[in-house]
Amino acid sequence: MTPTQVTAFISYMRDPRRYLPEIDALLDAYPSLRRHIAPMLPPRSVAHAMDQLNQLSSSSTSSMAAPTSSSKRKRPSSSSAASQPAATVVNPQCSICFDIVQTTSAPPCGHLCCVRCWQKLQLPDKTIPCPVCKQTFHADAFTRVVAAAPKRLK
């Protein structure tokens, strides 16, 4: 990094939530530095991770031949889907009780709550209103999220 970039980086790290795009832009050229800095950055949005997954799946789908009308897309078995997280977030924090959670689920909007808080919010028709953006989602629309272990500096 140039001295100007180092000065800017230090300035951005004083308020990483506000300057996350700028921090990402600086760290793009330095992947080894990113691995050490990542635990100090705020949790990534689950919505962002889900967008990346959607882009990956849509690009792989578009590269394959279009399915015929008689073919059906198979859903993954619930056991394999439950064992594989769709997103990994460093230090995910519940939006209601502010606990750091190890495993939870996130609605398509990407806001996080612990399992206990999601259960309290669930309505009889299996819909759950997001406490942050107030959108309502069916329980089946939630994506499993697992906390990533932060890497320690040596």
pLDDT tens per residue across span 27-83: 888 888 877 777 676 655 555 556 655 655 555 444 444 444 444 444 444 444 444
How many other CB atoms are found less than 10 A from the CB of residue 85?
18
Question: Strands 143-148 and 87-90: what pairing?
Answer: parallel
How many other CB atoms are found less than 10 A from the CB of residue 36?
14
Q: What confidence tier does 131 reach under pLDDT thresholds 50, 70, 90?
A: confident
Name the residue among 134, 106, 100, 109 with its Cα closest to residue 118: 106
Q: How far apart are CA 49 and CA 120, in angstroms?
A: 25
Q: Which domains does the chain have, with CATH numbers?
A: 1-42 (no CATH), 78-149 (3.30.40.10)
Element spanning 136, H or E: strand 136-138
